[in-house]
Amino acid sequence: MTVTKKMGERLVIRCSQKRVMIIMDEFTQSSVLTLERMNNFRVTPQRQVILEELTRVNNHPSANEVFDMVRVRLPRIGLGTVYRNLDIMADNGVILKIDVGGTQKRFDATVEPHYHIRCTECGRVNDIDVPVQKEIEAMAAASTDYEVQGHRVEFFGICPDCRKAKHDT
Rounded to two decimals, the pTM is: 0.71
Distance CA 127, CA 133 (A): 15
- Average model confidence (pLDDT) across the chain: 80
All CATH 1.10.10.10 domain ranges of the chain, comma separated, are 2-98
In DSSP terms, which residues pair with 127 in a beta bridge?
A: 116
Q: What is the pLDDT of residues 92-146, one digit of tens each?
A: 888 999 987 667 899 999 988 899 998 999 888 899 999 999 899 999 999 999 9
Architecture of the 113-168 domain = 2-Layer Sandwich (3.30)
User: Terminal CA-to-CA distance of the chain, rounded, Å?
Assistant: 54
Architecture of the 2-98 domain = Orthogonal Bundle (1.10)
All CATH 3.30.1490.190 domain ranges of the chain, comma separated, are 113-168
Distance CA 51, CA 47 (A): 6
Query: 68 — phi, psi (to 5°)?
Result: -60, -40
Query: 33 — phi, psi (to 5°)?
Result: -65, -40
